[in-house]
């Protein structure tokens, strides 16, 4: 087992997680600069505010899925599955808002770019088709403050979408590639659609920082928070 593996241990000051209550505030830090007040893990994208008395902390998705933090809505204390379902809904809406904000920024900065169809498509599917992704990401790359395309999900499940990706020119495929999951990349690479120079194997040391894994469930799919992969080593350290 690698020694550097992060163990998701609770900071001692946290005490009993169930003494903390969600405030239902959620933060989407697309720069991945947030850290978790429970476990200390850094480079977090989504964090959730919890309170105990006057003290508040922002905690990571793993800790949300791991610890029985309390949830109260309209004075009623929710059971754990209901808390998790509610958090899942908040998360999906937050991710949708983040994408909508990104589209709006492109619309404002590049009013001549025809984005109307893309907006309609995104609102309907909460994902982008490969063609729409290429057009939008090209716009995003022109912003003074470029937006990371990985906030979007791109559809490649159907043959039609795979072919659509394959029909994009080299530059467009390279623009969309970073937003694809490793599974999507493997599939498209096996069809010969990988943009030139794209690596499909993991190159740990030189890869760009990835969004926190496991990836959030797709907005369009009802899914529970990811179960936690327990480290296999038996250690109490
Ligand atoms: Zn955490």
CB atoms within 10 A of CB 185: 19
* Dihedral sign of CA atoms 203, 205, 209, 213 in order: positive
Does residue 200 have a pLDDT over 70? Answer: no
Q: Are strands 46-52 and 21-28 parallel, antiparallel or unpaired?
A: antiparallel
**How far apart are the CA of 161 and the centre of ligand 1, in A?**
36
Average pLDDT over residues 8-30: 92
Q: From CA 177, how far away is CA 200, in angstroms rounded? A: 10
Cα dihedral 8→13→15→17 (10° resolution): -60
Task: Name the percent of the chain lying above pLDDT 90.
Answer: 71
Tens of pLDDT, residue by residue over 128-149, are 999 999 999 999 999 998 888 9
- Closest by alpha carbon to 35, among 22, 24, 46? 46
**How far apart are the CA of 96 and the centre of ligand 1, in A?**
23
Beta bridge partners of 168: none
Does residue 225 have a pLDDT over 50? Answer: no
CB atoms within 10 A of CB 144: 6
Output the pLDDT for position 143: 93
Does residue 62 have a pLDDT over 60? Answer: yes
**165, 130 in Cβ contact below 8 A?**
yes
Query: Phi and psi of 48, rounded to 5°?
Result: -125, 135
- The CA angle 213-227-222, to the nearest 5 degrees, is 90
Output the pLDDT for position 224: 39
**How far apart are the CA of 21 and the centre of ligand 1, in A?**
15
* Dihedral sign of CA atoms 55, 60, 64, 67 in order: negative
**How far apart are the CA of 121 and the centre of ligand 1, in A?**
34
**How far apart are the CA of 212 and the centre of ligand 1, in A?**
12
Output the pLDDT for position 31: 86
Tens of pLDDT, residue by residue over 147-192, are 889 999 999 999 999 999 999 999 999 999 999 999 999 999 999 9
- Closest by alpha carbon to 118, among 128, 108, 110, 126? 128
Helix/strand/coil for 29: coil
Average pLDDT over residues 49-77: 95
Output the pLDDT for position 8: 65
Task: Name the percent of the chain lying above pLDDT 70.
Answer: 79
Q: From CA 175, how far away is CA 133, in angstroms rounded? A: 8
**How far apart are the CA of 207 and the centre of ligand 1, in A?**
23
Average pLDDT over residues 202-217: 44
Q: From CA 185, how far away is CA 37, in angstroms rounded? A: 34
Tens of pLDDT, residue by residue over 93-116, are 999 999 999 999 999 999 998 899
Q: Mean of the per-residue pLDDT values for the chain?
A: 84
Element (H, E) at 72: strand 72-73
**How far apart are the CA of 70 and the centre of ligand 1, in A?**
16
Output the pLDDT for position 32: 87
101 or 4, which is more confident? 101
């Amino acid at each position: 087992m690698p020694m550097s593996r992060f163990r998701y241990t609770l900071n001692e000051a946290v005490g009993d997680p169930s003494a903390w209550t969600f405030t239902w505030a959620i933060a989407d830090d697309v720069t991945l600069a947030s850290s978790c007040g429970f476990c200390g893990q850094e480079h977090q994208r989504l964090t959730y505010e919890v309170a105990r008395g006057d003290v508040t902390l922002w905690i990571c998705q793993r800790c949300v899925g791991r610890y029985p933090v309390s949830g109260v809505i309209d004075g009623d204390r929710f059971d754990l599955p209901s808390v998790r379902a509610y958090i899942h809904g908040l998360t999906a809406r937050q991710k949708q808002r983040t994408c909508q904000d990104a589209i709006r920024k492109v619309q404002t900065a590049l009013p001549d770019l025809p984005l109307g169809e893309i907006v309609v498509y995104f609102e309907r599917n909460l994902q982008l088709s490969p063609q729409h992704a290429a057009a939008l990401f090209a716009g995003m790359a022109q912003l003074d403050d470029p937006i990371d395309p990985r906030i979007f999900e791109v559809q490649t499940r159907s043959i039609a979408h795979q072919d659509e990706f394959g029909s994009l020119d080299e530059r467009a495929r390279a623009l969309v590639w970073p937003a694809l999951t490793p599974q999507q990349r493997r599939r498209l690479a096996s069809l010969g659609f990988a943009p030139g120079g794209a690596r499909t194997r993991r190159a740990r040391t030189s890869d760009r920082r990835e969004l926190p894994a496991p990836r959030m469930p797709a907005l369009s799919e009802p899914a529970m928070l990811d179960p936690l992969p327990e480290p296999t080593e038996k250690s109490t350290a």
